[in-house]
Amino acid sequence: MKQRVFSGIQPSGESLHLGNYLGAIKGMLALQDSHDCIFAVVDYHAITVPYDPASMPAQKFNAIVEYMAAGLDPRKSILIIQSDVPEHTELAWLLGCIMPVSKLEQLPTYKDKKARQQSPTMGLLDYPVLMAADILIYKASLVPVGQDQLPHIEFAREVARKFNAAFGETFPEPQAYLTEGAEVPSLLGTGKMSKSVPGSFIALNDSPDQIHHKLAVAVTDPARQRRSDPGEPMRCNIYAIHRLYTPVDRLAEIADGCRAADIGCLECKAILAEEIIADLTPFRECRARLFSHPDDVRDALREGAKRARPLARATLDEVRCVMGLDRI
Ligand code: AQP
């Protein structure tokens, strides 16, 4: 039997970004031919922070289009919107009843997002429980994610262990699947590329001009104030992105040129912009095609939910049974 894979991305912006693509979607693509995959647009996660209800339908539609344009194929993988499979939230309630609040309060994403909000919601605290349910409802053993999600995967493993110890062997302990781009840095010089940090990201639907502009104003090696200053590529966030895009021989040329101050930051950024634009061209074309055939996208989602729900229901029935909740 093929190993089961689950992963999800929030529809929390107008477009997914390069971090989502290189850190998560590339991992999904690497597994979709050889594994039994379910990939979701996790809309219930996106409402754990303030959001605009009027924009949500378009953001969900865009996220699923971008999944498909990046190569996730509904003939190979089950593609769903999380809220179309309500078993996820029902399982989250059951799992939440075995996990201590103190554990959730320690998780870095919660602490980080809490610091940016006046009154963090119960949903924000509970986010990792819902994420554990998203994975465990399909008994997935592999989860392609970026580095920032590792604490949440560790939490999901702990949920599985705790549940199995209390109610008998039910869930596999899921493992993260990381790509080379597991931590795409922010264009602002510190932290990761993130939808909620303006100026930090390149969106997958950015035009070639926008990509050139965003890179041109991006922060680089702080030691390189003037064109003639020698740089240190390993300290530079732009070089870190180059390493994910640029062929090895060209990369060595850029690193040497940077150290010798033969290549300026602007030139280095322009080379990277062209690499990214070339990589995203087929994506952009496919995205435009899908937007002009919205029924194909909706059909894929309908079919996805139809295939996912029986799998989710079977796990939920089993869980309710071992918890003594299925009978009177
Ligand atoms: N910079 C990144 N590098 C590598 N992987 C990344 N991911 C996100 N940013 C990077 C991975 O993308 C998947 C989906 O992320 P998400 O949008 O659901 O949540 P997130 O991790 O919180 O992403 P953002 O962009 O930072 O969203 P906001 O700003 O709304 O919180 C995950 O696998 C994630 O690791």
pLDDT of 217 over the 90 cut: yes
pLDDT number for residue 17:
97
C-beta of 183 in contact with ligand 1 (< 6 A): yes
* pLDDT of 137 strictly over 90: yes
Is the distance from the beta carbon of residue 233 to the nearest atom of ligand 1 less than 6 Å? no
Question: How many Å apart are CA 268 and CA 321, to the nearest integer?
Answer: 60
Task: Name 79's bridge partners.
Answer: 39
Specify the pLDDT at position 231.
82
At residue 119 the predicted structure's pLDDT band, cuts being 50, 70 and 90, is confident
258 lines ligand 1 (CB under 6 A): no
Measured between alpha carbons, how far is 87 from 101 in angstroms, rounded to an integer? 22
User: What's the CA-to-centroid distance between 257 and ligand 1, angstroms?
Assistant: 32
Tens of pLDDT, residue by residue over 259-274, are 988 898 899 999 999 9
Which amino acid is present at 223?
A: A
Q: What is the mean pLDDT of residues 229-257?
A: 90
Confidence at residue 143, expressed as pLDDT on a 0 to 100 scale = 98
Backbone angles phi, psi at 275, to 5 degrees: -65, -45
pTM across the whole model: 0.95
Q: Is 182 in the pocket of ligand 1 (CB under 6 A)?
A: yes
- The arithmetic mean of pLDDT across residues 268-282, rounded, is 96
pLDDT on residue 227: 80
Mean pLDDT of 202-212: 97
Q: Is the pLDDT of residue 1 over 90?
A: no
Mean pLDDT over residues 99-108, rounded?
95
Which residue in 280, 184, 189, 187 sits closest to 240, CA to CA?
184
- Going from the Cα of 198 to the center of ligand 1, the distance in angstroms, rounded, reads 14
Residue 14 has what pLDDT? 87
Query: Is pLDDT above 90 for 229?
Result: no
Residue-wise pLDDT for 7-16, tens only, equals 999 999 889 9
Q: Give the pLDDT score at 145.
A: 98
pLDDT band at residue 230, thresholds of 50, 70 and 90? confident
The percentage of residues in the chain with a pLDDT greater than 90, rounded to a whole number, is 84
**Quick check: is 113 catalytic?**
yes
Residue 139 known to be catalytic: no
- Over the chain, what HEC string results? CCCEEEEEECCCCCCCEHHHHHHHHHHHHHHCCCCEEEEEECHHHHCCCCCCCCCHHHHHHHHHHHHHHHCCCCCCCEEEEHHHCCHHHHHHHHHHCCCCHHHHHCCHHHHHHHHCCCCCCHHHHHHHHHHHHHHHCCCCCEEECCHHHHHHHHHHHHHHHHHHHHHCCCCCCCEEECCCCCCCECCCCCCECCCCCCCCCCECCCCHHHHHHHHHCCCCCCCCCCCCCCCCHHHCHHHHHHHHHCCHHHHHHHHHHHHCCCCCHHHHHHHHHHHHHHHHHHHHHHHHHHHCCHHHHHHHHHHHHHHHHHHHHHHHHHHHHHCCCCCC
Question: pLDDT confidence of 116, banded at 50, 70, 90?
Answer: confident
Q: Is 145 in the pocket of ligand 1 (CB under 6 A)?
A: yes
Q: How far is the CA of 23 from the centre of ligand 1 (A)?
A: 8
pLDDT grade for 321, boundaries at 50, 70 and 90: very high
For ligand 1, the distance from its centroid to the CA atom of residue 33, given in whole angstroms, is 23
In sequence order, which residues have a C-beta less than 8 Å from that of residue 132 and are 6 or more positions away? 92, 95, 152, 155, 156, 159, 160
Q: Is the CB of 95 under 6 A from ligand 1?
A: no
Average predicted confidence (pLDDT) for the chain: 95
Residue 261: its pLDDT value, please?
A: 87
Q: Quick one: pLDDT at residue 13?
A: 86
103 is catalytic: no
Which residue owns the Cα nearest ligand 1 atom 27?
195
